Amino acid sequence: MDPARPFVALVGGEGWACELRAAELQALCHGVAVLVHQHSVMAEQLMAEESITINHESRGLWLELCGTAASWSLRFLLEPEADRGCEGVWSAQASPQLALALQQLEYSGPLQA
């Protein structure tokens, strides 16, 4: 990792993008994994038409999973610092794919802050 470059990843969705530092990317990977796990446990108890919203916050990153047992979307808010803040959302079609990609990234090895 090049210390002269503070950002290690670019995440984005329809109409938006945000660069993340290593610790922010780690928080995103971990937080999405937590939300997906919580959803899978709770989804078994939901009726088909019921919806659920689950939140997770860690290291200045707030995440939300919202949807039904079969379909859900993700939203995040990177708390504003002196130089930037960021907010984004992934659709119900993109969210499971994003969660899988982040899981693979998380298990490929730890990132250094």
Q: Is the pLDDT of residue 48 over 90?
A: no
Query: Domain 36-107's class?
Result: mainly beta
Predicted TM-score (pTM) of this structure: 0.87
pLDDT-based confidence at residue 109 (cuts at 50, 70, 90)? low
pLDDT-based confidence at residue 14 (cuts at 50, 70, 90)? very high
Q: Is the pLDDT of residue 113 over 50?
A: no
Of the two residues 88 and 82, the one the predictor is more confident about is 88
Whether the CA torsion 17, 23, 26, 27 is positive or negative: it is: negative
pLDDT-based confidence at residue 87 (cuts at 50, 70, 90)? very high
Cβ atoms < 10 Å from Cβ of 36 = 21
